[in-house]
Amino acid sequence: MPEMFDGPPGGRDAALASARAAEARDHLAQGAIDDAVRCIFEAAEYAPDNTAMLREFVHALQDNDRDREAVALCEKILEIEPNNVATLIDLGFSLEPLGELERAYAAYTKASEIDPSDATSLNNRAYLELGRANLEAALADVTAALARNEFESIAHATHAEILAQLGRIDESFAAVSKAVEQSDEWLETAKTSDFLEPLREDDRWDRWLAERTPALGDA
């Protein structure tokens, strides 16, 4: 999570923004999301140039399934910093659940073009294409993402899902194994992802899972 913004010293608007930001954090901690949203946007009105504050709350809104408000904050940031790669990725991530897939695709594409070393934008675009069953386009994107960063565990997981949907089961097992080796959080994804159902139907699944699941008492 990005470092929390406390507002620059001096200035009535800065002080008001800092106060509203603090109130928003308190509301978030208490689960009072509507009140938090109100304070977040009041803080943004007082300090529209403080992108650190805005990015903090983008993630808070995403975590609470308030994607429409997260999109609005991303757009405020991009008015000031149009080439902010992290915010473009956040924008795409929040547009997807709203069904605005073309805008999400465009945001990921712009992020990828701005930073040719970024793997997340291409992985997210690959996952979007996977959801639309554009499997060859998804495979091209995730392959490019892994070329940018072979240690991007989420890209190995996405790669596994795409390969499974293409019927390339051996390669899918290899890809999901790499994801789990890098981060065991992907073991749960392997057990639940609809895209990996072909693996779970394979005769090798039970053995593969047992080899990667700690015995009771070993954790």
| 107 and 129 share one domain | no
| 13 and 104 share one domain | yes
Instruction: Give the domain CATH number at 146.
Output: 1.25.40.10
What is the per-residue pLDDT for 1? Answer: 39
24-55: per-residue pLDDT in tens?
999 999 999 999 999 999 999 999 999 999 99
Among the candidates 99, 115, 131, a domain finishes at 115
| 144 and 209 share one domain | yes
Q: Compute the distance between CA of residue 126 and CA of residue 204 in angstroms, rounded to an integer.
A: 27
Q: Compute the distance between CA of residue 90 and CA of residue 173 in angstroms, rounded to an integer.
A: 30
What are the Cα distances from residue 205, in Å, to 118, 140, 163, 164, 208?
Answer: 33, 26, 15, 13, 5
Burial (CB count <10 Å: 0-12, 13-18, 19+), residue 152? buried
| 145 and 205 share one domain | yes
Mean pLDDT by 10 residues, the chain (219 residues): 44 87 95 95 93 93 96 96 97 97 98 96 98 97 96 96 98 97 94 97 97 64
Backbone angles phi, psi at 158, to 5 degrees: -60, -40
Q: Compute the distance between CA of residue 200 and CA of residue 197 in angstroms, rounded to an integer.
A: 5
| 174 and 201 share one domain | yes
**Which residue, 71, 11, 97, is CA-closest to 47?**
11
194 lies in which domain range?
A: 116-219
Q: What is the pTM of this model?
A: 0.86
Helices (H), 32-134: 33-46, 51-63, 67-80, 85-95, 101-114, 120-131
| 128 and 106 share one domain | no
Among the candidates 61, 95, 115, a domain finishes at 115
Helices (H), 135-185: 135-148, 153-165, 169-182
| Location of structure tokens 């390969």 | 163
Question: DSSP letter at 196?
Answer: G
| 132 and 201 share one domain | yes
166-180: per-residue pLDDT in tens?
999 999 999 999 999
| 123 and 103 share one domain | no
| 110 and 131 share one domain | no
9-23: per-residue pLDDT in tens?
446 788 999 999 999
Among the candidates 56, 82, 115, a domain finishes at 115
Q: Compute the distance between CA of residue 39 and CA of residue 30 in angstroms, rounded to an integer.
A: 14
| 55 and 19 share one domain | yes
How many domains is the chain built from? Answer: 2
| 23 and 111 share one domain | yes
